Structure 1
Amino acid sequence: MALVPYVENSIPALSKLQNSSAQFRFANHDLRLAQDWKNLGVAAVVWDAAVVMCMYLELGKVELHGKLAIELGAGTGLVGISATFLILPGAEVTITDREPALDFLSANVKANLPTDCQRSVVVSELTWGKGLERYPPSRFDLVLGADIVYLEDTFVPLLQTLEHLCSDTTVVLLACKIRYERDRNFLSMLKLRFKVEEVYYEKQRDIHVYKACKLPRRRDL
């Protein structure tokens, strides 16, 4: 996630983002996520898309047990932490964000996962489109992203990252609020390389969940 400066005079709808923590119950576990809007901005608060992604994962529409999963732009880590509980045993979850957010993210992971679960989790730096050689290509079964589609400058490196991480059988789940036409443009870009379908919509929060799978490469005749 990108980092943005703190604005003291925020609108009331955003006041919950300025709380020092947020509490949830997912995967039969009570989770308490630290938030730090003042110092880290959007990378350190729980957005509705993350909550809806966790809700969708709990529905059991996607096979999770024993999968190798990676979360992009994890922020507070809510999605990756919830996914860890849902896909154990035999699972491995990599939870990623940009370097400035890693200490904060790691602290949330450590505070919310029991020691035995932490052995199956890696918190790792990932700036989209850069240093991808550190991540084995086509390795992951599941790629998760909650509210990571909002900055147009990141669309091309995000697509590059998805293509690198995904095999033909990888499932990508993106939870998004469609705010602007550029967000729809990203979905159009994604459809050039992936089969994309909307699998869930949470009306109250206006969040869409999209499932994407890599399209087979075209071969010249």
Structure 2
Amino acid sequence: MSSTDDSSLSLEEKQYEFCGHSLKIAMFRGTSLGVSAFVWGPGLVLCRYFEDEKFNFTGKKVLELGSGTGIVGILAVLLGGDVTMTDRAYVLKQIEHNVSANIPVTSRHRSKIRALAWGNDQNNFPTDFDIILGSDIVYNPSQFLRLVMTLLNIANEKTTIYLSSDVKYREGAANFHEEILPTRFNCELIHTSGSNCIYKVTKKVRRDED
């Protein structure tokens, strides 16, 4: 059953254009999705980066953390990726709605939607992802260690992680990228747009893991 059957639900839809694709993204208002029911700036900056850099995800196994509306993961599917979009369980119907609205049936087999609570569910996921994506997921310092734990469990030494964050207006975001994450990951700032920064991240290979 579609979550749009909920009488308390109001949909706000916005149109976006990236990489030659027209995306109609619905945000479920009137629900308890909170920050997940918005398309945030860091996500749009990441999508535009894919466009500017002419990303091609064909043949790549991709995981998106904190998918929210699903806009970033949906674009990655449209650019050829085999994408697993994840978020808290109560957000998944919003992602499902947007996947159905934007990904053709012929490509939908390359999209998966699963619940992932950081620090709890990461062991239920494979560790062979080529790429991990996250946009505006660094905003709550109480979740930072859980996020690092999740990345450590799921990423392998060949996984490339792209994190797009608002380092000025999100509490602790600058410290996360400059101090916390670099203790276990190689972190490179590769793009800025206003206060939004995209970091390319790879897992450090520890001697005791060789």
Aligned partner letter, 1:170: T
CA contact (8 A) 1:72 1:95 kept: yes
Please say if 1:99 is aligned against 2:89: yes
Please say if 1:81 is aligned against 2:74: yes
RMSD across aligned positions (CA): 1.8
Task: Determine helix, strand or coil for the equivalent of 1:148.
Answer: coil
Instruction: Tell me whether 158-167 or 38-47 shows the greater mean CA deviation.
Output: 38-47
Q: Which residue is equivalent to 1:195?
A: 186
- In 1, the alpha carbon distance for the partners of 2:55 and 2:111 equals 20
Q: Which residue is equivalent to 2:160?
A: 171
Task: Determine helix, strand or coil for the equivalent of 1:139.
Answer: coil
Give the 5 Å matches for 1:29-48: 29-39=21-31, 40-48=33-41
Aligned partner letter, 2:181: L
Change (3 A) 1:181 1:29: closer
- In 1, the alpha carbon distance for the partners of 2:171 and 2:145 equals 16
Change (3 A) 1:122 1:32: same
Q: How much has 1:85 moved relative to structure 2? A: 1.2
- In 1, the alpha carbon distance for the partners of 2:74 and 2:159 equals 20
Q: How much has 1:24 moved relative to structure 2? A: 0.3
Query: With structure 2 as the length reference, what TM-score do the two structures score?
Result: 0.88
Q: How much has 1:59 moved relative to structure 2? A: 2.6
Task: Determine helix, strand or coil for the equivalent of 1:100.
Answer: helix
Aligned partner letter, 1:151: N
CA contact (8 A) 1:22 1:46 kept: no
CA contact (8 A) 2:66 2:87 kept: yes
Q: In structure 2, which of residues 106, 125, 129 is the aligned counterpart of residue 116 of structure 1? A: 106
Change (3 A) 1:168 1:74: same
Q: How much has 1:216 moved relative to structure 2? A: 1.2
Change (3 A) 1:168 1:159: same
Aligned positions, number: 197
What is the CA deviation profile of residues 20-69 of structure 1, one whole-angstrom value per residue up to 9, with x for unaligned ones? 11110112111000012432221111001110010111233766321100
Aligned partner letter, 2:186: K
Change (3 A) 1:78 1:184: same
Change (3 A) 1:38 1:197: same
Query: With structure 1 as the length reference, what TM-score do the two structures score?
Result: 0.84
Q: Which residue is equivalent to 1:15?
A: none
Q: Which residue is equivalent to 1:65?
A: 58
Q: Which residue is equivalent to 1:153?
A: 142
What is the CA deviation profile of residues 102-147 of structure 1, one whole-angstrom value per residue up to 9, with x for unaligned ones? 11111111111000111111011011111222101x2100000000
Aligned partner letter, 1:168: E
- Mind listing any 5+ residue stretches in structure 2 that lack a counterpart? 1-9
Give the 5 Å matches for 1:174-185: 174-178=163-167, 179=169, 182-185=172-175
- In 1, the alpha carbon distance for the partners of 2:72 and 2:171 equals 26
What is the CA deviation profile of residues 134-162 of structure 1, one whole-angstrom value per residue up to 9, with x for unaligned ones? 101x2100000000000011101100111
Identity of aligned residues (%): 36
Task: Determine helix, strand or coil for the equivalent of 1:129.
Answer: coil
CA contact (8 A) 2:138 2:170 kept: no
Q: List 4+ stretches of structure 1 deviating above 4 A.
A: none
- Mind listing any 5+ residue stretches in structure 1 that lack a counterpart? 1-17
